[in-house]
Structure 1
Amino acid sequence: MGNREDLLAGAKRCLMEKGYAGTTARDIAAASGTSLASIGYHFRSTKALLNAALVEAMEEWGKEIEHALAAEAPPGATPLQRFEATWERIIESYIRLRPLWAIQFELIAQMDRLPELRESFASANREARLGLAALFENLDPAVDEKKAMAVGTFYQALLGGLATQWLVDPESAPSAHDLVQALHTITAGRSGPTQPDTPSPTAAGTSP
């Protein structure tokens, strides 16, 4: 690898071990086997290097999620069984990629002091939601972008919320089977999807 690639690899290792705020230029130089001057030459600043390393790490995380979703469910599996199998694999990825999830929450807490990262996260959010809709439900935003965005937002909330519980207390964090049981409870008695854009007879001032 060249110095630039070495710096990115070293910065990613430091991010995993020390976090974003705890990583210094000297840490990266030592981890990458390069000089402090090479950081300025290739990236201008340590912050720019860390941001680039974070983007690469997030891309690797995305590939990990794709890999988890690409694994085939057992033949004849029901939709709920496929759902459970998928989330079992995602939970395994939480365990392997725990430092990367921790960094994301660290950065969210510092967002007001890192406006450039806020902009990066905000612009990436839209693409992430559409990507999740395609990965989980094979929804094409070109066909129905509003639906894809809503579904992607739901999965983004589920991924982040579950990751929080695994970071804070993995011993009592829900399993994939727990998610299925919760889904059963939440959907019990609901015969079909609601139509939020259609006013109810009461709200419209009319009788049934």
Structure 2
Amino acid sequence: MGNREDLLAGAKSCLMEKGYSRTTARDIANASGVSLAAIGYHFGSKDALMNEALFDVMREWGDELGTTLTADLKPEATPMERFEQAWDRVVESFERMRPLWVTQFDLLGQLDHLPEVRAQLIGVMGEARTGLAELFLGVDPDAEPERARLTGTFYQAMLTGLLGQWLLDPDSAMKGRDVVTALRAITS
């Protein structure tokens, strides 16, 4: 790898270990084995490097989640069985990517001071909504854009809420079966 790639890898490592706001330029330089000056040369600033690292990690998680959610689904399963299995897989991904989620919740409180991050998150959220609608319901966002937006937004709200609960108290957070039972209870 070159210095740019080493810096990005170092920033991702720091992001997962220390979080977004607690990572210093020196932390990144030490983790990457590259000079402090190289951060400015390759990225312009530590913040620009951290933003790129954050969105790379988020894209990687999104790709992994998409693959995980669609793998080994039984074609004969009912929609609720598929939904339950998918939510269990989402919760498993929370466990693997806890540092990413802690970082994202940390960033939510700082968005008024990070306009570049806010703008990027808005774009990512839009993509995530349509992706969730496709994954959970098989909605084609090109054919049914409003249905994809609405159902994707609902899934995203559930995901964020469940994630917040899981970060606080993983032992009592809902699993797939719990979510299905709750949905049945509120829609009956």
- 1:38-65 alpha-carbon deviations (Å, 9 max, x no partner): 1111001000000010110010110121
Contact 2:83/2:136 (<8 A) preserved: no
Equivalent-residue separation in structure 1 for 2:87 and 2:39 (angstroms): 39
Q: Who is 1:154 aligned against? A: 154
Task: Classify the secondary structure of the residue corresponding to 2:30.
Answer: helix
Aligned length: 188
Q: Who is 2:137 aligned against? A: 137
Equivalent-residue separation in structure 2 for 1:135 and 1:83 (angstroms): 10
Aligned-residue sequence identity (percent) comes to 57
Give the Å deviation of 1:75: 5.3
- 2:5 is aligned with 1:2: no
- 1:64-104 alpha-carbon deviations (Å, 9 max, x no partner): 21022111224532221111111111111000001111111
- 1:92-131 alpha-carbon deviations (Å, 9 max, x no partner): 1000001111111111110111112111112222222112
- 2:62 is aligned with 1:95: no
Task: Classify the secondary structure of the residue corresponding to 2:180.
Answer: helix
RMSD: 1.2
Contact 2:7/2:32 (<8 A) preserved: yes
Task: Classify the secondary structure of the residue corresponding to 1:11.
Answer: helix
Equivalent-residue separation in structure 1 for 2:94 and 2:161 (angstroms): 12
More divergent stretch after superposition (74-83 vs 31-40): 74-83
Task: Classify the secondary structure of the residue corresponding to 2:112.
Answer: helix
Q: Who is 1:23 aligned against? A: 23
More divergent stretch after superposition (63-72 vs 146-155): 63-72
Task: Classify the secondary structure of the residue corresponding to 2:20.
Answer: coil
Equivalent-residue separation in structure 2 for 1:80 and 1:121 (angstroms): 30
RCO greater where, 1 or 2, for CA within 8 Å and sep 6 or more? Answer: 2
Equivalent-residue separation in structure 1 for 2:81 and 2:137 (angstroms): 15
Q: Who is 1:83 aligned against? A: 83
After superposition, residues 1-208 of structure 1 pair within 5 angstroms as 1-74=1-74, 76-188=76-188
Task: Classify the secondary structure of the residue corresponding to 1:77.
Answer: coil
Give the Å deviation of 1:175: 1.3
Task: Classify the secondary structure of the residue corresponding to 1:76.
Answer: coil
Equivalent-residue separation in structure 2 for 1:22 and 1:174 (angstroms): 30
Q: TM-score, normalised by structure 1?
A: 0.87
Q: What are structure 2's unaligned runs of at least 5 residues?
A: none
Q: Who is 1:198 aligned against? A: none
**Letter aligned with residue 9 of structure 2:** A
Task: Classify the secondary structure of the residue corresponding to 1:141.
Answer: coil
Q: TM-score, normalised by structure 2?
A: 0.96
